[in-house]
């Protein structure tokens, strides 16, 4: 038992961020002879490597065009400042890799069946693949370490290995994991990935690298892109063919999608391939209600709202005058996922007797986020919502995108992938010929590097990804792999107001707020004007950004969209698709080389 306690303490300590490169080794705390003896030892160690996203995942779109933020998120700092290896210093930490490799160096000593040992080795290699994918996404070329490195080892001070070599090694890890990790093992911790979660990561990684190589000429790897795209299509097709998963659809188009993000138990949901389970009654609670909702650091963007289709499958951006539609009208007859992702007119907050009226705060968009928000006043309920880590919807969209990029997509492929997702919210099917025959001009402007016969359907698959996974920490990766970083230079905007005056924000036809001139004083409560229901209007002083007002409008008193900031953003291509190696690491290891113009 003592060795188990020692190992748990070791692994707990290793989970914290550590900027010191390989500065302490596991073998200084535990010897392989004393520990790696039984299946129980292997399970205990691998359980300690478990790492999954929690409720904070719903906050990670702050780096994208899905949201505005008042926080100093890295991407915003990069685009608005003068970044260098002295100011951008994160990411070059390797402690987790050391613990993974230590297991892989020693697991073979255990007295266990070969398939059992291969199962745990597969999980460790899955974690190593995730670790390296994050590193490659950030730095491109990185040193590959397949073994535990000791202090003083010459290998510690080598230069980076080429991205192609590292990603081949990552794919080999995932292929091994997919072939050897079992569907379920009794000794693993709750939430430990099984075979199908591993395969979902395998498909995700292949799609990422295939599209990244296709759309990033600076890598000089475009000739090898299809190899990865074919793997993405093949692996996702195998998951589909297993018949183990379904899109969650009970015939309630206005509720089924939202149920994936506020459920108290996702363990039996056939769409959820892997969930991070929370239960406050079992001392494992977590909630982000106070930060997710839309008036803390982040708020959804108008550009995201405009991406959702109309309920009949037509494009919102084809509606005449769509840029001047206010909050109530822009939510009418839309893809039902919009009102299950953002607060909609008439939404009622738990504990309140009347519909919620959007709060309009400085530097925010006015939109409020529902995904990840648990609409309850019960503390146990708030802290016990499960988080989906991998969803079957991702597998279907991975399959469709890979086939579209390969040029092999058929209508039958769409019918067994994208159209199953659309069916949940009763949207019309995506038709291959129609999409390619009439590409969306707004999407064409966003993604000018998409060409070929499947251009229109690729746009629509990208729309589906953005809508389906909004606020699930997918958007930034998608924008990066599609070489669409210029999208992030547009400062997110919010609700549209035609000018000063009264506005209905709940959809009942009765005004709820009033925008007054910056020169006016907001009256006391007893002197405020009341609407036809006898309720006092909520007053805001409106004007241009920088003025002494609460609501910033693009055209000041003349109205326009709510604006959030003025700092100009620039995106240097290809430099800003990557991050610099921190200067202190360059000083410690002169063999390291900065790439893509970083200094």
Count other Cβ atoms within 10 Å, centred on residue 456.
Answer: 22
Q: What is the pTM of this model?
A: 0.94
Name residues whose C-beta falls within 8 Å of residue 430's C-beta, 6 or more positions apart in sequence: 414, 418, 419, 422, 457, 460, 464
Structure token digits, residue 251: 């015939």
Pairwise CA distance, residues 493 & 259, whole Å: 28
Report cis status (omega within 30 of 0) of the bond before 574. yes
Burial of 155 (0-12, 13-18, 19+ CB in 10 A): exposed
Determine how many CB atoms are found less than 10 A away from the CB of residue 420.
18
Burial class (CB in 10 A: 0-12, 13-18, 19+), 576: buried
The size of the chain, in residues, is 599
315, containing H or E segment: none
Cα dist from 176 to 129, 182, 184, 231, 248, whole Å: 11, 12, 17, 14, 30
The whole-angstrom separation of Cα 220 and Cα 213 is: 8
**Residues 241-280: b if buried by 16+ CB within 10 A, e if exposed:** eeeebebbbeeebeebbbebbbbeebeebebbbbbbbbbb
The whole-angstrom separation of Cα 495 and Cα 368 is 11
**In this structure, what token pair is assigned to residue 344?**
């909609």
User: Alpha-carbon distance 496 to 136, whole Å?
Assistant: 40
Strand order in the sheet with 513-517: 501-503, 513-517, 538-543, 551-552
pLDDT at residue number 32: 75
Whether 312 and 425 have beta carbons less than 8 Å apart is answered as no
Q: Partners of 387 in the beta sheet?
A: 276
Nearest residue to 561 via CA among 271, 359, 226, 301: 301
Q: Tokens 């995108």 identify what position?
A: 401
Cα–Cα distance between 544 and 492 in angstroms, integer?
A: 16
Q: Tell me if 193 sits within 8 A of 126, measured CB to CB.
A: yes
* pLDDT for residue 25: 39
* SS3 (DSSP) at 50: coil
pLDDT given for residue 9 in this prediction: 33
What are the helix (H) ranges across 181-217? 195-215
In the DSSP assignment, the letter for residue 492 is P
User: What is d(CA 80, CA 72) in angstroms, rounded to the nearest whole number?
Assistant: 10
Q: For residues 114 and 120, what is the distance between their CA atoms, to the nearest angstrom?
A: 10
Cα 524 to chain center, whole Å? 44
pLDDT in tens, the chain (599 residues): 334 433 433 343 333 333 333 334 344 456 777 799 999 999 999 999 999 999 999 999 999 999 999 999 999 999 999 999 999 999 999 999 999 999 999 999 999 999 999 999 999 999 999 999 999 999 999 999 999 998 888 888 999 999 999 999 999 999 999 999 999 765 555 678 999 999 999 999 999 999 999 999 999 999 999 999 999 999 999 999 999 999 999 999 999 999 999 999 999 999 999 999 999 999 899 999 989 997 789 999 999 999 999 999 999 999 999 999 999 999 999 999 999 999 999 999 999 999 999 999 999 999 999 999 999 999 999 999 999 999 999 999 999 999 999 999 999 999 999 999 999 999 999 999 999 999 999 999 999 999 999 999 999 999 999 999 999 999 999 999 999 999 999 999 999 999 999 999 999 999 999 999 999 999 999 999 999 999 999 999 999 999 999 999 999 999 999 999 999 999 999 999 999 999 999 999 999 999 899 98
Q: Residue 506 and residue 356: Cα distance in Å, rounded?
A: 7
DSSP state of 334: B
| Mode of pairing for the β-strands spanning 538-543 and 513-517 | parallel
Give CA–CA dist 369/386, Å, rounded: 18
Q: Could you tell me the two tokens for 405?
A: 């990029």
Q: 4: buried, middle or exposed (CB in 10 Å: 19+, 13-18, 0-12)?
A: middle
CA distance 435 to 440: 8
Determine the Cα–Cα distance for residues 324 and 143; give it in Å rounded to an integer.
51
Q: Is-contact 501 477, C-beta < 8 A? A: no
Reference 576, options 300, 216, 67, 303; nearest CA is 216
Backbone angles phi, psi at 387, to 5 degrees: -115, 120
What is the reported pLDDT for 24? 41
Q: Which residues of 330-355 are buried (b: 16+ CB within 10 A; e: fewer)?
A: bbeebbbbbbbbbbbbebebeeeeeb
Nearest to 364 by CA among 553, 215, 125, 507: 553
The set of residues, in sequence order, having a beta carbon less than 8 Å from that of 573 and lying 6+ positions away, is 483, 485, 486
């Amino acid at each position: 038992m003592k060795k188990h306690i020692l190992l748990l303490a070791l692994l707990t300590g290793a989970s914290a961020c550590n900027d010191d490169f390989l500065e302490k080794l596991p073998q200084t705390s535990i010897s392989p002879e004393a520990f790696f003896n039984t299946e129980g030892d292997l399970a205990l160690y691998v359980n300690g490597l478990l790492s999954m996203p929690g409720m904070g995942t719903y906050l990670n779109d702050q780096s994208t065009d899905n949201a505005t933020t008042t926080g100093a998120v890295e991407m915003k700092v990069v685009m608005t400042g003068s970044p260098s290896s002295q100011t951008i210093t994160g990411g070059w930490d390797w402690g987790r890799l050391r613990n993974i490799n230590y297991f892989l160096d020693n697991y073979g000593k255990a007295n266990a069946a070969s398939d059992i040992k291969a199962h745990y080795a597969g999980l460790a290699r899955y974690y190593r693949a995730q670790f390296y994918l994050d590193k490659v996404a950030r730095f491109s070329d990185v040193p590959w370490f397949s073994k535990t490195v000791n202090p003083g080892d010459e290998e510690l001070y080598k230069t980076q290995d080429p991205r192609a070599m590292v990603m081949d090694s990552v794919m080999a890890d995932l292929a091994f994991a997919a072939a050897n990790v079992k569907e379920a093992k009794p000794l693993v911790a709750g939430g430990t990935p099984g075979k199908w979660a591993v395969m979902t990561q395998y498909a995700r990684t292949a799609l990422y690298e295939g599209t990244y190589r296709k759309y990033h000429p600076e890598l000089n790897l475009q000739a090898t892109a299809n190899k990865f795209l074919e793997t993405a299509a093949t692996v996702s097709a195998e998951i589909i063919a297993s018949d183990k998963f379904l899109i969650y659809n009970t015939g309630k188009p206005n509720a089924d999608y939202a149920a994936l993000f506020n459920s108290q138990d996702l363990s039996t949901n056939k769409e959820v391939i892997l969930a991070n389970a929370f239960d406050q009654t079992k001392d494992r609670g977590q909630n982000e209600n106070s930060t997710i909702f839309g008036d803390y650091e982040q708020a959804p963007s108008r550009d995201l709202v405009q991406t959702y289709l109309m309920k009949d499958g037509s494009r919102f951006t084809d509606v005449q005058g769509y840029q001047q539609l206010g909050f109530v009208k822009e939510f009418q007859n839309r893809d039902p996922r919009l009102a299950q992702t953002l607060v909609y007119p008439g939404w009622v907050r738990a504990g309140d007797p009347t519909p919620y009226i959007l709060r309009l705060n400085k530097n925010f968009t006015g939109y409020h986020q529902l995904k990840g928000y648990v609409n309850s006043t019960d503390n146990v309920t708030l802290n016990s919502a499960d988080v989906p880590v991998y969803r079957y919807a991702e597998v279907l969209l991975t399959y469709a995108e890979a086939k579209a990029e390969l040029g092999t997509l058929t209508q039958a492929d769409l019918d067994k992938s994208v159209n199953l997702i659309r069916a949940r919210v009763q949207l019309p099917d995506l038709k291959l010929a129609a999409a390619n025959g009439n590409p969306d001009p707004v999407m064409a402007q966003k993604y000018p590097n998409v060409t070929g016969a499947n251009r229109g359907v690729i746009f629509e698959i990208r729309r589906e990804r953005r809508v389906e996974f909004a606020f699930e920490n997918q958007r930034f990766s998608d924008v990066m792999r599609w070489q669409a970083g210029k999208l992030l230079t547009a400062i997110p905007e919010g609700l549209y107001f035609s000018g000063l005056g009264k506005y209905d924000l709940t959809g009942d036809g009765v005004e709820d707020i009033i925008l007054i001139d910056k020169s006016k004083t907001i009256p006391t409560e007893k002197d405020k004007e009341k609407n036809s229901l006898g309720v006092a209007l909520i007053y805001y002083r409106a004007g241009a950004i920088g003025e002494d007002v609460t609501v910033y409008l693009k055209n000041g008193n003349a109205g326009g969209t709510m604006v959030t900031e003025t700092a100009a953003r620039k995106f240097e291509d290809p430099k800003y698709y990557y991050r610099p190696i921190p200067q202190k690491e360059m000083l410690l290891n002169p063999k390291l080389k900065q790439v893509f113009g970083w200094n």
